[in-house]
Amino acid sequence: MKHPKTTIALRTFAAAADCGAPLRTYPTDTLPTRTGAPLAITFFKHASLAIEYDGRRIYVDPIGQYADYASLPKADLILVTHSHYDHLDPAAIEALSTCGTTVVCDRTSAEELGGKARAMTPGEKCRPCDFLTVEAVAAYNTSADRQQFHPRERRDCGYLLEIGGSRIYIASDGENTPEMKALRDIDIAFLPVNQPYTMTVDQAVDAVKAIRPALFYPYHYGEVEEKTDLDRLVRELEGVTEVRIRPME
The domain spans of the chain are 7-238
Q: What's this model's pTM, rounded to 2 decimal places? A: 0.91
pLDDT along the chain (249 residues), means of 10: 51 47 81 96 95 97 94 97 89 96 96 91 96 97 84 92 98 94 98 89 97 96 80 96 91
Q: What share of the chain is helix, strand, coil (3-state, %, to 5)?
A: 20, 30, 50
SS3 179: helix
CA 212 from chain centre, in angstroms, equals: 18
d(CA 171, CA 195): 16
Which stretches of the chain are DSSP H helices? 90-96, 107-112, 178-181, 201-211, 230-236
The class level of CATH for 7-238 reads alpha beta
The CA distances from residue 54 to 62, 75, 91, 171, in Å, are 21, 13, 26, 24
The CA distances from residue 75 to 92, 142, 166, in Å, are 11, 33, 20
The CA distances from residue 32 to 102, 127, 229, 242, in Å, are 25, 22, 29, 15
DSSP 198-248: S--HHHHHHHHHHH--SEEEEES--SSSS---HHHHHHHTTTT-EE-----
Residues 175/151, Cβ–Cβ less than 8 Å = no
